Amino acid sequence: MHITRVRGRPYLTLIDCGPSRFAVWRRLRVHCSANVTEQLEAVFYERGAPEELLTNNDTAFRGRTFT
């Protein structure tokens, strides 16, 4: 899981490392923990929650909302 910028806009990027190997990009309104959590909940609802999450040390993954 990573936050990437394209033309200055933040996107949450997820890659499934399992057998399906799919990638998901979700636009974030604002680069913050609350928006990351909102998008993760939507992805988990659509595809199911993973057994494990790996993130970089981005501030959006360290906020109180995320933990």
Residue 40 lies in a domain: yes
Residue 17 lies in a domain: yes
Residue 67 lies in a domain: no
| pTM, rounded to two decimals | 0.81
Residue 66 lies in a domain: no
Structure tokens given for 16: 């499934």
Residue 27 lies in a domain: yes
Contact 12, 39 (CB under 8 A): yes
Number of domains in the chain: 1
Query: How far, CA to CA in Å, does 52 sit from each of 2, 27, 41, 48?
Result: 14, 22, 15, 12
**Which residue segment(s) compose the domain that 31 sits in?**
2-61
Contact 15, 25 (CB under 8 A): no
- pLDDT (tens digit, 9 = 90+) per residue, 4-61? 999 999 999 998 887 778 899 999 999 999 999 999 999 999 988 888 888 888 888 8
Residue 12 lies in a domain: yes
- CA neighbor of 65 nearest in space, from 24, 35, 43: 35
